[in-house]
A and B are shown apart, each in its own frame.
Chain A
């Protein structure tokens, strides 16, 4: 699609960005007395609260509305598939475990995925993987075999997580969008760091860590794996020497800060798109900003439901796009 074809779409997104939550709106949500009050405030901001009785329904309705808007703005939604790969691979994990334990699925699948979850489940259950997209086909068979031979669900998860990262990286390389290319690389790098940190904390072997990491351009996974297998200091020291020194700094504070850092770097990546009047990139940025907003609202609503203080929530809040 020529870049000028996005002039209409980007202009609509600019108008829509006015309704994104800003720091003031987040403060208002934090000051609300209950989750119901928060939902009322969100309704005033234009969230579709009509049929949403619970926070989860509200979040799901808002996500659906965002995807509906993107479907109106572009003929080909597949350009945004890369953002749904995580859900696909999550569903694959669930499908494999359900098929292995011979159970029926009940609310375990994520609805927002590129492959219909029931179809995925049936494919795994019947071991007929031909109908699955290529990125899922091989790993579905491989992970199911690994689980059935070893009974090790952690190994199965690790294999699928790595395949998910490889799929994101491949989609990034194939994409014409500079933002999606950078997003794919950043997602793979931050996920590799997350995996390395968890492996280091649980004392995994160098062999396991090496198998779990997906090679990407901005980080040397061999050195990362070696550092993670060695010690926490070695891991943080290695990260300090890379472009992801911020991750080391956040990890020194807490895991929570690190998780926050991972989301914040994505927001930093998309922020320049606020000033880009053409191309699909501002649409992708809006989608990621909306996902970030949904995450923030989910944190606040859960805190309200569980009676957590505004201060403890503030520590978990991510940066905003607007």
Chain B
């Protein structure tokens, strides 16, 4: 059991990167299909729909950031990877907001981007408004990033 702390901590880091990455891949992929549909009919809208396609990609980056920070804190990237089971579980819990919210927000942001791409297809002059709708979903990914960031840093300073 004395080795399980690091296992849970690493599992948390992996889940943060994995779930957010999967969500972003789905979101960007879905939006990419819609973007390709618009570009098939009107190639001049490429740059506009590309921006909307990229929006759900940020969760993957946030997940990477949390995973990297956790790996640094737990000593996997240098230092001593020794820790108690309690501390390992705390790291695991700290990574969960980013993993779970990252996954769901990226999928839903992808769907909202698809709807935004529909706006650009018909009314390209409404591009700014079309971007605001998927950007709203980003709020929750940022909140989760913030909580995971604070929690991982906080747990790192604990001596338990």
**Contact surface of A with B, Cβ cutoff 8 Å:** 4-5, 7-18, 277-278
Contacts and interface: CB of A to CB of B under 8 A. Distances in A.
A277 B38 contact: no
B121 A11 contact: yes
A15 B34 contact: no
Contact of B114 (A17, A18, A277): A277
Contact of A7 (B37, B41, B42, B122): B37
B121 A7 contact: no
B122 to A, nearest CB: 6
Contacts of B31: 7
A10 B119 CA distance: 12
Given A8-B36, A10-B118, A278 B41 contact: no
Given A11-B38, A11-B118, 20 more contacts: A5-B33, A7-B30, A7-B33, A7-B34, A7-B37, A8-B33, A8-B34, A11-B35, A12-B38, A12-B40, A15-B37, A15-B38, A15-B41, A15-B122, A17-B122, A18-B121, A277-B111, A277-B115, A277-B117, A277-B118
User: From DSSP, what is the main secondary structure of chain A's interface residues?
Assistant: helix
B33 A15 contact: no
B124 to A, nearest CB: 10
B38 to A, nearest CB: 5
A14 B38 contact: yes
A277 B41 CA distance: 16
Contacts of B30: 4, 7
A14 B114 contact: no
Contacts of A12: 37-38, 40-41
Nearest to B42: A15
B41 A10 contact: no
Contact of B117 (A4, A5, A11, A17): A11
Contacts of B37: 7-15
Contacts of B40: 12, 15
A18 B40 CA distance: 14
B38 A10 contact: no
A295 B36 CA distance: 31
A11 B114 contact: yes
A13 B121 CA distance: 9
A6 B38 CA distance: 13
Contacts of A5: 33
Contacts of B114: 7, 10-11, 277-278
Interface string B1-45: 000000000000000000000000000001101111110111000
B33 A14 contact: no
Contacts of B117: 11, 14, 277
A12 B122 CA distance: 10
A11 B40 CA distance: 9
